[in-house]
Amino acid sequence: MHPKRKPIIAGNWKMNMTAVDAVDLVRKLSYSIVNVKDREIVVAPPFTSLAAVEEAIRDTNIALAAQNMHWVDKGAFTGEISADMLLDSGCKYVIIGHSERRQFFGETDETVNKKIKQALKKGLLPIMCVGETLAEREAGKLDEIISRQITGGLKEISADDMKKVVIAYEPVWAIGTGKTATPEQANEVHALIRGKVKSLYNADVAEGLRIQYGGSVTPENVSQLMAKPDIDGALVGGASLKPDSFAALVNFK
Ligand code: 13P
């Protein structure tokens, strides 16, 4: 955490929660974090709950994110959701290129890049996910993979636009496995990402960039992670599905 950057704690609910459950969760969450001003709080429900959650969090300190979107304005793309639809549902952020989308739905650095450009063009703030698999890490390819994802995902994004992007480092081996990267391991990659962004842009953009860590973050380990200088937030799956543990994440020390 760095004094210049506002921490951002986001819950990625993945394919969980009906609208009723989602509204119940954000209502309970909003009561327990009502006074929090020094950190940004974001929830990313499934598309089907966005409208209901938007209504429930209106006039609270919680912002809305979507988990994915298409890069085209509109048209014959059955099953897809456009940026305008997300704006219409009250989204401020959109998660792009989550490893589950890369792994199971064929997303590549190229499609990630198209989606980021579209999000920025439409006024949505992208949370771009990057991260290596265990096999890639063990083969000594960590730097190569992260650099490729950063360079490819951010291709032709201007420095001004880059100031609106959040990056989430989520090592694939730490997602939903209970195996968190150690604060040192995570910070090392965050510093690598910041260095890469500095070389692609400039020191100002790199210093302002918020980088979240994701992968088995819990109320028990969040404070040690957030104590590291290059870790500016968390993107949380499992532990964001219960109001008490989500509130505890937001209230990290
Ligand atoms: P878990 O917190 O369940 O490991 O999921 C992390 C994640 O993928 C958030 O996007």
Q: How far is the CA of 12 from the centre of ligand 1 (A)?
A: 7
Backbone angles phi, psi at 127, to 5 degrees: -110, 105
Q: How far is the CA of 11 from the centre of ligand 1 (A)?
A: 8
Backbone angles phi, psi at 62, to 5 degrees: -105, 135
The full length of the chain comes to 253
Ligand 1 lined by 95 (C-beta under 6 Å) = no
Q: What is the pLDDT of residue 40?
A: 98
Residue 21 identity (one-letter amino acid): D
Among the four given CATH numbers 2.40.37.10, 3.20.20.70, 3.50.50.60, 1.10.3720.10, the one describing domain 8-250 = 3.20.20.70
Report DSSP state, residue 106: -
Computed over every residue of the chain, the mean pLDDT equals 97
Q: Give the list of residues 6+ apart from residue 196 with CB closer than 8 angstroms, or none.
A: 146, 147, 150, 151
Question: What span, in angstroms and rounded, lies between the C-alpha atoms of 32 and 231?
Answer: 24
170: left (phi over 0), alpha (psi -120 to 50) or beta: beta
User: Cβ distance 215 to 171 under 8 Å?
Assistant: yes
Q: How far is the CA of 76 from the centre of ligand 1 (A)?
A: 32
Q: How far is the CA of 152 from the centre of ligand 1 (A)?
A: 23
Closest-lying ligand 1 atom to the alpha carbon of residue 14: 10
Question: What span, in angstroms and rounded, lies between the C-alpha atoms of 128 and 166?
Answer: 6
Strands 125-130, 233-236: pairing is: unpaired
Q: What is the pLDDT of residue 131?
A: 98
For ligand 1, mutation pick of 96, 169, 175 (most atoms within 8 Å of CB): 175
Ligand 1 lined by 238 (C-beta under 6 Å) = yes
How confident is the model over 191-249, as pLDDT tens digits? 999 999 999 999 999 999 999 999 999 999 999 999 999 999 999 999 999 999 999 99
How confident is the model over 101-137, as pLDDT tens digits? 999 999 999 999 999 999 999 999 999 999 999 999 9
Q: What is the pLDDT of residue 189?
A: 98
Just list the catalytic residues. Answer: 98, 170
For ligand 1, mutation pick of 68, 93, 130, 236 (most atoms within 8 Å of CB): 236
Q: How far is the CA of 202 from the centre of ligand 1 (A)?
A: 30
Whose C-alpha lies nearest to ligand 1, atom 1? Answer: 237
For ligand 1, mutation pick of 8, 9, 14 (most atoms within 8 Å of CB): 14
Whose C-alpha lies nearest to ligand 1, atom 5? Answer: 237
Question: What span, in angstroms and rounded, lies between the C-alpha atoms of 66 and 133?
Answer: 24
Closest-lying ligand 1 atom to the alpha carbon of residue 168: 10
Question: What span, in angstroms and rounded, lies between the C-alpha atoms of 141 and 219?
Answer: 30
pLDDT tier for residue 39 given thresholds of 50, 70 and 90: very high
Radius of gyration of the chain (CA): 17
